[in-house]
Amino acid sequence: MIDLLVAGAGPAGAATAIRAALAGLDVVVLEPREAPIDKACGEGIAHSAVAYLSRLGVELQGRPFHGIRYLDAAHSVDARFRAGPGLGVRRTELHRGLRRRLDELGVPVVRARVGEISQTPSTVTAAGHTARYLAAADGLHSPIRRQLGLGVDPAAGNSRPTRSSLSPRAVRPAGAGSTRRGLRQHFAIRPWSDLVEVYWSSLGEAYVTPVADDLVGVAVLTSARGSFDDHLRAFPRLRARLGDAPPASGVLGAGPLRQRVRRRVAGRVLLVGDSAGYVDALTGEGIAVALRTSAELVDCVVADRPEDYEAAWRRVSWECRALTASLLWARNRSLLAPRIVPAAAALPGVYGAIVNRLT
* Nearest Cα to Cα of residue 288 among 324, 258, 330: 324
* Nearest Cα to Cα of residue 259 among 208, 324, 176: 324
Task: For residues 293 and 312, give the distance between their C-alpha atoms in angstroms, rounded to a whole number.
Answer: 8
Query: What letter does residue 173 receive in the DSSP assignment?
Result: P
Quick one: pLDDT band at residue 176, thresholds 50, 70, 90? very low
Furthest C-alpha separation in the chain: 61
Q: Is 240 helix (H, G, I), strand (E, B) or coil?
A: helix
What is the structure's pLDDT at 178? 66
What is the structure's pLDDT at 166? 32
- Which domains does the chain show, CATH number per domain? 2-64+87-160+258-335 (3.50.50.60), 174-254 (3.30.9.100)
Residue 124, C-beta contacts closer than 8 angstroms, at least 6 positions apart: 5, 117, 118, 130, 131, 132, 133, 134, 267, 268, 269
Q: Output the average pLDDT for the chain.
A: 92
pTM of the predicted protein model: 0.90
* Nearest Cα to Cα of residue 273 among 65, 67, 49, 2: 49
Looking at residues 236-264, what average pLDDT do you find? Answer: 96
pLDDT tens readout for residues 105-148: 999 999 999 999 999 999 999 999 999 999 999 999 999 999 99
* Nearest Cα to Cα of residue 224 among 213, 216, 232: 232
Quick one: pLDDT band at residue 310, thresholds 50, 70, 90? very high
Residue 98, C-beta contacts closer than 8 angstroms, at least 6 positions apart: 9, 11, 14, 15, 18, 58
What is the structure's pLDDT at 177? 46
pLDDT tens readout for residues 313-349: 999 999 999 999 999 999 999 999 999 999 999 999 9
What is the structure's pLDDT at 52? 96
pLDDT tens readout for residues 51-101: 999 999 999 999 999 999 999 999 999 999 999 999 999 999 999 999 999
Looking at residues 28-48, what average pLDDT do you find? Answer: 94
DSSP string over 54-93: HHTT-----EEE-EEEEE-SS-EEEEE-SS--EEE--HHH
Contact 183, 253 (CB under 8 A): yes
pLDDT higher than 70, residue 174: no
pLDDT higher than 80, residue 268: yes
Quick one: pLDDT band at residue 153, thresholds 50, 70, 90? low
Percent of the chain with pLDDT over 70: 93
What is the structure's pLDDT at 359? 76
Looking at residues 17-24, what average pLDDT do you find? Answer: 98
pLDDT higher than 60, residue 173: no
Looking at residues 148-175, what average pLDDT do you find? Answer: 49
Element holding 98 (H helix, E strand): helix 91-104
Distant-in-sequence contacts of 80-85, Cβ < 8 A, 24+ apart: 80/195, 80/352, 81/47, 81/355, 81/356, 81/359, 82/356, 83/47, 83/48, 83/356, 83/359, 84/47, 84/51, 85/47, 85/50
What is the structure's pLDDT at 161? 38
Looking at residues 276-293, what average pLDDT do you find? Answer: 93
Percent of the chain with pLDDT over 90: 90
Higher pLDDT, 163 or 42: 42
Q: How far is CA 74 from CA 77, 79, 197, 208, 351, in A?
A: 11, 17, 15, 18, 17
What is the structure's pLDDT at 79? 97
DSSP string over 112-141: ----S-EE-SS-EEETTEEEEEEEE---TT
Quick one: pLDDT band at residue 169, thresholds 50, 70, 90? very low
pLDDT higher than 60, residue 184: yes
Query: What letter does residue 234 receive in the DSSP assignment?
Result: T
In this structure, what is the dihedral angle of CA atoms 148, 38, 69, 74, given to the nearest 10 degrees?
-100
